[in-house]
Amino acid sequence: MKELFIAALAVVALAGCKDEGESFVGQWKSNDKMVETITVTEASGGYRVVSHFDKDKEGYMDVEVVLIAESDKLLVRQEQGTRGLEIAEDGKMKSHLRHGKDAVFTKVN
């Protein structure tokens, strides 16, 4: 009976757990001159992130990476542990995917 009670508690605890990176899932757009769209989807064990400049029809400048959730506000690169995407208090997302400039994004869906 004790084992059954412990198993039931474990199921309730697991059902109450929320995926830490869920707030990133969707499409995000920048307001820069070169509009960039970042699409985040769930992947096994992490999140697949595709960054694309809207004017780049061929996709030569696309960046694709798998990130893992470090918290509900931060996705990091698994190998290096460096920041990939983070959500600020105002709900905007900051991207650290491209070298040189961190861009700010607004969620569109």
| Domain assignment of residue 12, yes or no | no
**pLDDT for 3:** 53
For 49-73, what is each residue's pLDDT tens digit?
999 999 999 999 999 999 999 999 9
Q: How many domains does the chain fold into?
A: 1
CA–CA separation, 15 and 10 (whole Å): 9
**What CATH number does the domain containing 58 carry?**
2.40.128
CA–CA separation, 63 and 95 (whole Å): 12
For residue 55, the enclosing domain spans 20-107
| Domain assignment of residue 9, yes or no | no
For 67-92, what is each residue's pLDDT tens digit?
999 999 999 998 888 999 999 999 99
Q: pLDDT-derived band of residue 101, with 50, 70 and 90 as boundaries?
A: confident
| Domain assignment of residue 51, yes or no | yes
**pLDDT for 14:** 38
| Domain assignment of residue 15, yes or no | no
